[in-house]
Amino acid sequence: MSNSSEAQIKEVVLRVLNGIAPEVEIDAIDPRRDLRDQMDIDSVDFLNFVIGLHKDLGIEIPDADIPKLASLNSCIGYLLSRVKQS
């Protein structure tokens, strides 16, 4: 997905999140707030989220970069830069 747009990445992120927490209304997510906090997802869920992004976008996400995925906005921004690099 090297030519992915922000909208495409957002769609992937929301789809992966929906798979992990299907009971959460995706439209109600505050893009600036911490995802784990507002969706009540634990470390196992979050690891599954990162694995899902890795598989769907085809990029490696170093462990040190995990804090950059904290909110929806920061997550999309980070992934966009990673996809452009790849």
- Asked if 25 touches other proteins (CB under 8 A), the answer is no
Find the length of the chain: 86
Distance CA 29, CA 55 (A): 23
Q: Which is nearer to other proteins, 21 or 80 (CB)?
A: 21
- Asked if 62 touches other proteins (CB under 8 A), the answer is yes
State in angstroms the smallest separation of the CB of 32 from other proteins: 21
State in angstroms the smallest separation of the CB of 83 from other proteins: 15
Instruction: Decide: residue 56, CB within 10 A, 0-12 exposed, 13-18 middle, 19+ buried.
Output: middle
- Asked if 21 touches other proteins (CB under 8 A), the answer is yes
